[in-house]
């Protein structure tokens, strides 16, 4: 505790924000895996499982747009704590008896969880902009990379936790345990998080929801296709494919996806070193284009490999590793650029608009993951993924370029 008090106020707030984000992410990853595996065992088709996440993604789009406005008016501490409380409520909704777990009920719980997740995410990403001096862009990139990378590593742990909890204590028991732990985190956050963090000096009007920055609009469009490219094969198609084609158990599917996301998060944390920060270079629009262009090759090669006479499992696992590394760098680079582009006063407005596009990409990807996989198979999902990444790369050509920053 004495070491914590010795830290600067900004670093203490960063650690609290990061801790909140970590705790939330664990439950979010576990809940997604629980829903996918539990309802797959009940006989739901991939498209029906995708439909369970429909409101999660739809309300994520709405929340990022409105949440940025709320964060600027109320403060990021309040929007983050509201997100934690809503996630506790969403988890408790799923503790009802099995007979009550109807599709509309689960979709409603997922809607609440989607609102919670994006309030929490928008608040965490916006807060970093306010805790780093404007002339310390290298520090900003590093802090964003650590927050983003550690979050995704813990999301992978959440996948594993979801598969393990389902096997150990069942669906209702799993969500009850997570709700109890997250409630404790929420109480601590209410006490410790700074009260005026991110509150805009001028009350933003509702018309200010939409970004007026050309750079942010272009980056948001690229983000939509980038995350659609991931989720079109990763969210529904991949876990169901591993379970049905290779006969993997729930724990094996959850464990493998956990390891993949943990590795992906680790690469995100290292993105500043990979993209050249150590030599005094910070990423710009050119870097966003080049890394997106490199990513196109990954789904193309996996699709070609699965359509050939090569053994499917090594092709899929090797391709996933390459895709994970390249996607992690793209994601971390984007996360830095949006925080860098955003205005300091009312930062959550710009960040919220950007992550609205992120949520829209997830929504499109999730729906296509269920429909394309059910109708045409995993290889078709991979070709759609390649198309989406190519679109993200082309759009990134419009991003601004800047001089090197030491």
Using the 8-state DSSP alphabet, how is residue 305 labeled? H
Q: What is the pLDDT of residues 154-201, one digit of tens each?
A: 777 887 788 788 888 888 888 898 899 899 988 888 887 766 655 555
DSSP string for residues in 145-200: HHHHHHHHHHHHHHHHHHHHHHHHHHHHHHHHHHHHHHHHHHHHHHHHS-TTTT--
Average per-residue pLDDT for the chain: 79
Q: What is the pLDDT of residue 77?
A: 75
Give a yes or no: residue 222 inside a domain.
Answer: yes
**Helix 312-341 crosses helix 347-376 at what angle (to 10 degrees)?**
160
Rounded mean pLDDT, 19-48: 80
Q: Nearest to residue 282, comparing CAs of 403, 385, 104, 112?
A: 403
Q: How many domains does the chain have?
A: 1
Taking CA 332 as the corner, what is the angle to CA 284 and CA 251, rounded to the nearest 5 degrees?
160
Confidence of residue 405 (pLDDT cuts 50, 70, 90): very low
Give a yes or no: residue 97 inside a domain.
Answer: yes
Give a yes or no: residue 264 inside a domain.
Answer: yes
Q: What is the pLDDT of residues 341-376, one digit of tens each?
A: 766 555 656 777 777 888 888 888 988 888 898 889
Give a yes or no: residue 402 inside a domain.
Answer: no
How many CB atoms are located within 10 Å of the residue 206 CB?
9
Give a yes or no: residue 301 inside a domain.
Answer: yes
Matching residue, tokens 């992410």: 25
Confidence of residue 69 (pLDDT cuts 50, 70, 90): low
Give a yes or no: residue 406 inside a domain.
Answer: no
Give a yes or no: residue 258 inside a domain.
Answer: yes
Rounded mean pLDDT, 104-131: 79
Using the 8-state DSSP alphabet, how is residue 399 labeled? S
- At 34, which CATH number? 1.20.1250.20
Give the range of the structural domain holding residue 255, as residue numbers without chain letter.
Answer: 2-396
């Amino acid at each position: 505790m004495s070491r914590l008090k010795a830290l600067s106020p900004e670093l203490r707030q960063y650690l609290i924000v990061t801790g909140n984000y970590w705790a939330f992410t664990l439950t979010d990853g576990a809940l997604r895996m629980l829903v996918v595996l539990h309802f797959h065992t009940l006989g739901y088709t991939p498209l029906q499982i995708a439909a369970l996440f429909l409101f999660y993604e739809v309300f994520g789009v709405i929340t990022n747009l409105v949440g940025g406005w709320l964060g600027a008016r109320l403060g990021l501490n309040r929007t983050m704590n509201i997100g934690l409380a809503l996630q506790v409520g969403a988890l408790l909704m799923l503790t009802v008896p099995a007979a009550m777990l109807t599709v509309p009920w689960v979709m409603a719980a997922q809607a609440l969880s989607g609102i919670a997740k994006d309030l929490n995410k928008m608040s965490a990403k916006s807060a970093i902009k306010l805790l780093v001096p404007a002339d310390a862009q290298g520090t900003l990139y590093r802090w964003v990379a650590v927050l983003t990378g550690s979050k995704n590593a813990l999301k992978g742990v959440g996948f594993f936790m979801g598969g393990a909890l389902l096997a150990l204590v069942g669906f209702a028991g799993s969500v009850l345990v997570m709700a109890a732990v997250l409630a404790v985190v929420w109480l601590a956050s209410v006490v410790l998080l700074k009260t005026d963090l991110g509150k805009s000096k001028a009350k933003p009007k509702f018309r200010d929801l939409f970004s007026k920055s050309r750079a942010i609009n272009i980056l948001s469009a690229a983000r939509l296709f980038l995350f659609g490219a991931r989720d079109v094969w990763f969210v529904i198609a991949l876990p169901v494919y591993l379970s049905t084609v290779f006969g993997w158990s729930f724990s094996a599917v959850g464990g493998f996806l956990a390891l993949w996301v943990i590795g992906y998060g680790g690469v995100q944390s290292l993105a500043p070193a990979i993209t050249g920060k150590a030599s005094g270079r910070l990423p710009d629009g050119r870097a966003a284009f080049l890394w997106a262009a490199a990513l196109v090759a990954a789904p193309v090669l996996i699709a070609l490999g699965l359509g050939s006479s090569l053994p499917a499992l090594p092709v899929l696992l090797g391709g996933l590793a390459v895709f994970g590394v390249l996607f992690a760098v793209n994601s971390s680079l984007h996360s830095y650029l949006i925080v860098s582009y955003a205005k300091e006063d009312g930062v959550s407005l710009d960040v919220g608009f950007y992550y609205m596009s992120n949520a829209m990409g997830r929504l499109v990807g999730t729906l296509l993951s269920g429909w394309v996989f059910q109708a045409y198979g995993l290889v078709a999902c991979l070709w759609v993924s390649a198309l989406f990444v190519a679109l993200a790369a082309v759009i990134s050509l419009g991003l601004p370029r800047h001089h090197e920053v030491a």
